[in-house]
Structure 1
Amino acid sequence: MTDTPLARAARIAAGLLWVAVAAACSTGPDEAAVDAARSSANASLSASVTASASAAHRPLPTAAELDAHIKRALDPALPDSERTDLIEDGEAFRQAIPDMYRALQDNPRAVYGVTDPVFDNHDGTLTATMRLDKDGTGTTVRTTVMHFVLVDGKWKISRTDLCGILRSADYRTPACG
């Protein structure tokens, strides 16, 4: 079970308040100690609530923004270090980059993209749908669920789902096992 910032702040506040009350009971009322403990607990709780609220209300990227993110990751002109930063556990894909290029080169008419809607899973991930039309004719469109993972404040392409995209394009790579 994970410890939320709000729960942690509440425990700290309760502990500080207990210490202040215990001290007050043993030596008589020490208003300054109680006020200091209360002030510290309130500040800690307030900071935790603010942090939790800002994380919970992070603006969701649109399907167009996520689509641009994927297209950027597949752009051959992008330096590999920047490309791997767009992918969850991106360093594992460094050796797979030639496979991604080959998939693009072998399918020059391919049309792919993220479509609406984008769902917030409330666990640090987003879900959207990825469409892939390998020959660009519209007759062989494949779709797959696509996840994006929030890592260090950045939405990254899910490692698992990138492997799914490569598999749906009939490519295998050691990064995907």
Structure 2
Amino acid sequence: MRLRRTAAAALTLAVIGAAVTACSSDDSEASVAAARSSAYAALSSSSAVAATSAANRPIPTAQQLDAQIKAALDPNLPDSDRTDLIQDGAAFKDAIPDMYKALQDHPRAVYGVKDPVFDNHDGTLTATLSLDKDGSGTDVRTTVVHFVYLDNRWKISKNDLCGILRSADYKTTACG
């Protein structure tokens, strides 16, 4: 987002500079062309930085995000690995027994991240999570879920995880 603003500001300044130059008494095609060229260079440069930045953050597929959420609920996963999958995950350490209880209370539950996954170009992703608490397919709920890029990995948003837990009638101090 900051990159876009910087590019827009550079382009705006260059266009204003070109307009001022065009309106001055030393009106010349060369100075207008130079200002235009400068504006396009600034825009291209910021686009290249944005592309490089995005290239450093590989966008996971829905299947990869789904596997990540399911891994967070795997009882064999060490708690520290589990909390690493959640934004502000350390706050959820005490909630882990509640997550297991939710799974035990709904052993036929079917849930998962579905395509498409959207890159919001601000260090977050948006995807859809579906939940069928009894696995019957008659009461499937969906919600938008966000992932935040922190510590070189995509983590489920704390706010979204809290929303999911609240919708399943589970309370935790991590969610306030």
**TM-score normalised to the size of structure 1?**
0.71
Distance change >3 Å, CA 154–CA 105, structure 1 → 2: same
Structure 1 stretch displaced more, 54-63 or 79-88: 54-63
Residues 142 and 168 in structure 1, CA contact (< 8 A), matched pair in contact too: no
Q: CA deviation at 1:168?
A: 1.8
Aligned to 1:68: 67
Aligned length: 138
Aligned to 2:81: 82
Distance 1:127 1:89 in 2: 18
Q: CA deviation at 1:144?
A: 0.8
Distance 2:145 2:157 in 1: 8
Aligned-residue RMSD, C-alpha: 2.4
Distance 1:49 1:138 in 2: 44
Identical-residue share of aligned pairs (%)? 73
Aligned to 1:59: 58
**TM-score normalised to the size of structure 2?**
0.71
Q: CA deviation at 1:100?
A: 0.5
Q: CA deviation at 1:152?
A: 1.9
Aligned to 1:121: 120
**Which ranges in structure 1 are unaligned for 5 or more consecutive residues?**
8-45
Distance 1:152 1:83 in 2: 14
Distance 1:116 1:166 in 2: 22
**Which ranges in structure 2 are unaligned for 5 or more consecutive residues?**
7-44
Q: CA deviation at 1:153?
A: 1.6
Matches within 5 A, 1:1-177: 52-57=50-55, 58-177=57-176
Distance 1:167 1:79 in 2: 24
Q: CA deviation at 1:79?
A: 0.3
The residue identity in structure 1 corresponding to 2:104 is Q
